[in-house]
Amino acid sequence: MLPTTLYPFLSGNTVITPFVGTMTVIVLAAGFISLSLVFDITPTFITKAEANFQNEMAGEMYSIPVVFRAVPTAFPGFSRLRATRADRKEPISVWTLRFHHGRRSDES
């Protein structure tokens, strides 16, 4: 565990204890989860992997040509997933894409 590993090196400081270190990690994790849920922001490496996956599956999942990409945010190291119609070069919302242009399993 990270806080327990760092404790011997930081034990000269009375503020840093295993409990405080563990609580710090928990608060940071909760903050990142909140960013992800509320603002649709994730770490860039996750967003790039999702964009690659969505681009591979776009032909099977959607009835229009769509390209996905990671767009940087104001938070360093974080980005958002954006969809763009490939034929018109205009952004398209995820909800419109899913509900109006999504292929259904019964259409196969």
What span, in angstroms and rounded, lies between the C-alpha atoms of 11 and 68? Answer: 47
Identify whether residues 69 and 46 lie together within a single domain: yes
Identify whether residues 96 and 51 lie together within a single domain: yes
Identify whether residues 67 and 25 lie together within a single domain: no
Identify whether residues 33 and 79 lie together within a single domain: no
Identify whether residues 98 and 65 lie together within a single domain: yes
What span, in angstroms and rounded, lies between the C-alpha atoms of 98 and 104? Answer: 10
How many domains, in total, are found in the chain? 2
Task: Report pLDDT for 38.
Answer: 81
pLDDT by position in tens, the chain (length 108): 455 555 555 555 556 667 777 888 899 889 888 878 887 888 899 999 999 999 999 888 898 999 999 999 888 888 999 999 988 889 988 778 888 888 765 454
Could you tell me which of 76, 75, 77, 84 has the C-alpha nearest to residue 38? 75
Domain that holds residue 6: 2-39
Task: Report pLDDT for 5.
Answer: 58
